[in-house]
Amino acid sequence: MAEKVYLAVDLGAESGRVMAGIWNGKKLRLEEINRFPNGGVYLGETFRWDVMRLWAEIQNGLGLAGKKFGKKIVSVGADTWGVDFVLLNKQDEILGQPYHYRDARTRGALERTFKKVPRAEIFAQTGLQFMELNSLYQLLAWKEHSPAILDAADTLLFMPDFLHWAMCGAKRAEFTIASTSQFVHPLKRDWSLPLLKKLGLPTHFLPKIVQPGTTLGKFRKSLADRTGLAGVKVVAPPSHDTASAVAGVPTANTGKANWAYISSGTWSLMGVEVKKAVLSPRAMELNMTNEGGIDDTYRLLKNIMGLWLVQQCKRSFDAAGKKYDYAQLAAMAAKAKPLRSIVNLNDPRFLNPPDMPKAIQEFCRETKQPIPKTEGELVRCAYESLALKYREVLGSLEELTGEQIEVIHIVGGGSQSQLLNQFAADACQRPVVTGPIEATAMGNLLTQVKADGELGSLAEMRDVVRASSSVQRYEPSAWSEAADRFAELKN
């Protein structure tokens, strides 16, 4: 068959890219078209996203793809991180500069919200874990400081939905990204309007929810003229990047709960794939989340503060004139003394500190542990703490599903960290299979291939992932009493 090309716009918290997927009927070959940096921007006392710059970079990538592949291009779809959104008025003007989920305005929002609606009721209505950064608390923050903007809003679009609107004009909320908001009902698969009304939040701006694989329309004429992509369709992939990443896991066990995944990047999203949201009191007690997936699946998972600690340590090292790359930092960590200092990743001081090494050192000082001082000691502390958190979450997943997890798949950019992969196998005492690095782009692109009629199911998509990528396997070796020490830090 003649080759077809599909384009993925994939935005992470640290970088974004436009990727091409070249499909020959059996395998998908990926080609990076345009990569660009991402990150929050301080504006006054606030932390925001520069969506105009991101959209400019995306258009550059689309134009480059148009020049290279021309009429071979079938469709485009966007995925991004969760929870953040853009507000448009009736004239399609952006209201306010979109906030970054790490902005401080939602601090203390959980306690204030629980005074209005009990935690158990919110969980029953949403199935989501409680994090101050969730869209629900961001909306409440808007209501507290800028209610007039909420009143003027005509449409709320999550980040990938905003990009789809910019491409084709469609105002829709794709299900997997909407499910990160904490105001989508996990059984009805629609907005939890009673919850929002009980919290005094407006609902008039919520668009219709559509499923991944939905064709949203064709490129705006002006965009098609600028990029040379006339007639190209916009197809909603699993628009939450983790949902696309999980779709890109190369497992042969689709439909079973005997494997777990970790989408490893700035965040580590660790979970299992289930057919029905788990809404038990124990799931709420463990602060687990149920987010939407492709083909009517749910992702029972835990958000874990992932490589953010290492990324922010590197940022501090760079500022001090010690410019190491990640491979150099991993090599230094490998030489540091093992299991010397461990931090609790749930501690709010790690969310967005001005100096991550100092935050780690303060925690270790307060918990009477040896204080990591060198770059290697700090990075090793972050890696080992993360691996031990994986072990804790693994136990929670097995408890909630009643299934023993036999293997852990690590996908995404963080799967390149060989030291962390081995620590994960050691801490969890399970084999770890890593790759593909570009699982998110794979899941995004293969959903478009499926929407084009080339594939029939999620299992078939994963067959293509296995045929199109290579993996690496890590076998566990024993760790000492580290898990017990890690558990003590939570108390």
Gyration radius (Cα) of the chain, Å: 22
SS3 call for 284: helix
Query: Which of 181, 202, 182, 200 lies closest to 122, judged by CA?
Result: 182
Given a contact cutoff of 8 angstroms between Cβ atoms, the answer to whether 449 and 28 are in contact is yes
- What single-letter amino acid sits at 114? F
C-alpha torsion angle, residues 417, 422, 427, 429 (rounded to 10): 130
CA distance 297 to 256: 11
Tokens 């439909």, located at residue: 255
Tell me which residue has tokens 């009191």: 281
Distance (Å, whole) CA 384 – CA 420? 8
Peptide bond into 160 cis (omega under 30): no
DSSP 299-349: EEEEEEE-THHHHHHHHHHHHTT----HHHHHHHHHHSPTTS----TT-GG
**Measured CA distances, 398 to 14, 21, 430, 490 (Å):** 32, 35, 13, 20
- Closest by CA position to 67, among listed 121, 105, 116, 20: 20
Q: Decide if 112 contacts 271 (C-beta within 8 A).
A: no
* Catalytic residue (one of 79, 84, 103, 241): 241
Q: What is the DSSP letter of 105?
A: G
Residue 241 is a catalytic residue: yes
Active-site residue set: 241
